[in-house]
Amino acid sequence: MKFSESLKQAADPILKAQFEHPFVKGLADGTLPMNKFRFYMIQDSLYIVDYARAMAWVAPLMPDVKDILAMLDAAKASFQIEAMLKEQYFQQFGITMEDALKTEPAPICKAYIDHLFRYTRTGTLAEGMAAILPCGWIYVEIGHHFTAGKTIPDDHPYKSWLMTYAAPEFRDLVNWWFQMLDDAVAGYPESELKRIEDIFLKSCRYEWMFWEMGWTMQSWMP
């Protein structure tokens, strides 16, 4: 079994818990209160800027120049797609991306970004890939889970969000990342594979916690 497949198996309970989270279920059926979605989208704007940075920091660790350039292109394209999606909703909210980026990160948003930076700024290729992969993987799985074989009505308030992550090019990107991780850990001893798995699973858990942050509209306390 490929290492990436064992990661997916280990993370499957965390993934399924996200399918059942009230925030995600509300996104899927259109019942999510708009104030919670607004909070989440603003926080996700802060996150996606640093996620693009994390992708860019991983790029130079790749062994082939073609892969380095492809990763940098992916960082740019992912940010642009995310920015377009958010600006579409921000128009409804009466704010701009610039307004969103002036917001203070909520505790989980800040903690997740710190986790990404820890392994992408100074880590190995395997560490960096394990840290960034869950975000792409989980969003692709959510997009597929809630749209495959279904017709999303045009008046669904979150149709654009759902269809963005159901796009096949996102899955292609994630599959490439998993292959890069498999190649990076070739020859690793079991102890090191376990450490890479721990990084991956922690990112998966941060994804669940990000939904919870949006659902509770988390703030710094006291």
Q: DSSP letter at 93?
A: H
Which of these is catalytic: 109, 135, 141, 204? Answer: 135
Instruction: Please answer whether residues 16 and 207 qualify as being in contact, where contact means their C-beta atoms are separated by less than 8 angstroms.
Output: no
HSE (CB half, 13 Å, CA atoms) of 197?
18
Whether residue 23 contacts residue 40, with contact meaning beta carbons closer than 8 Å, is answered with yes
Separation CA 51–CA 33 (nearest Å): 26
Contact 220, 108 (CB under 8 A): no
Catalytic status, residue 207:
yes
Task: Give the H/E segment covering residue 107.
Answer: helix 107-121
Does the active-site annotation cover 135? yes
The amino acid occupying position 195 is: R
CA dist 103 and 110 (Å) reads: 12
Q: Which of 82, 127, 141, 207 is catalytic?
A: 207
Active-site positions?
Answer: 135, 207
